[in-house]
A and B are shown apart, each in its own frame.
Chain A
Amino acid sequence: KQEVTQIPAALSVPEGENLVLNCSFTDSAIYNLQWFRQDPGKGLTSLLLIQSSQREQTSGRLNASLDKSSGRSTLYIAASQPGDSATYLCAVTYAGGTSYGKLTFGQGTILTVHP
């Protein structure tokens, strides 16, 4: 069974810092990995999707990397801002037996950026 772990569970940083969020998964036979943002009481917003054949994806101040062989992904946020405060979740899509649309989420990292 696929398990996804995110470290740290919570992170508090001052504005302007660069930071790294970590995601690890146990089964490397994945199709893709996505990073999401969730604001309190809201739904999820997709940030980046990395396909299994890719090593990284970038969007603005965000950069996500993927190392399938080691079962790890990182989300790098440059020059953090108070508006980045949210819960960040990673999720992997994988084949579970005959099912090929299974998706497992990590528990998330709660990020607080203070002015």
Chain B
Amino acid sequence: EAQVTQNPRYLITVTGKKLTVTCSQNMNHEYMSWYRQDPGLGLRQIYYSMNVEVTDKGDVPEGYKVSRKEKRNFPLILESPSPNQTSLYFCASSSTLIFGSGANVLTFGAGSRLTVL
């Protein structure tokens, strides 16, 4: 089944304890991206990647890191989590998101709910 898999789905951690949220897709998609969803603020893009070793900042990249060493994986790293990073996180992927007839829809993961105490 074609899907985007995020882990963990739920996590409670403490301020300053490094954590990684993994994202993996099995559709050979070039484009992958991370979002956070907060009440009243909606969904905001954190980082995205057009392909392996190509990453760029979205609208809210502060406090996050990403890497794209393999096509299928795009982990989100919080080096020193803070309470304001408590949120619902989504990973998504697509093939050729941008141009012409090759543009395809985004496929989202089920979400990871993170609480930082």
CA distance A104 to B41 in the complex (A): 12
Q: Which residues of A contact B106 (CB under 8 A)?
A: 34, 36, 44, 46, 91, 103
**Would you call the interface of chain A mostly helix, strand, loop, or mixed?**
strand
Given contacts A31-B103, A42-B110, A101-B50, contact A108 B42 (CB under 8 A): yes
Flag if A49 contacts B105 (CB, 8 Å). yes
Q: Which residues of A contact B100 (CB under 8 A)?
A: 51, 53
Flag if A102 contacts B103 (CB, 8 Å). no
Flag if B98 contacts A101 (CB, 8 Å). yes
Judge if A69 is at the interface, Cβ distance under 8 Å. no
Flag if A100 contacts B98 (CB, 8 Å). yes
Given contacts A93-B97, A105-B42, contact A46 B48 (CB under 8 A): no
Flag if A101 contacts B110 (CB, 8 Å). no
Flag if B107 contacts A101 (CB, 8 Å). no
Flag if A107 contacts B42 (CB, 8 Å). yes
Q: Which residues of B contact A91 (CB under 8 A)?
A: 43, 106
Q: Which residues of A contact B92 (CB under 8 A)?
A: 44
CA distance A101 to B57 in the complex (A): 9
CA distance A36 to B43 in the complex (A): 12
Judge if B44 is at the interface, Cβ distance under 8 Å. yes
Flag if B44 contacts A105 (CB, 8 Å). yes
Given contacts A49-B104, A99-B57, contact A106 B110 (CB under 8 A): no
CB-nearest residue of chain B relative to A2? B59
Residues of chain A from 8 to 36 with CB closer than 8 A to chain B in the complex:
31-32, 34, 36
Judge if A89 is at the interface, Cβ distance under 8 Å. yes
Nearest chain A CB to B108 CB, angstrom units: 4
Q: Which residues of B contact A100 (CB under 8 A)?
A: 50, 98
Nearest chain B CB to A49 CB, angstrom units: 5
Flag if B108 contacts A104 (CB, 8 Å). no
Can you list 8 A-B pairs, Cβ within 8 angstroms, ordered by A?
Answer: A31-B103, A32-B103, A46-B105, A46-B108, A51-B100, A89-B42, A91-B43, A99-B56
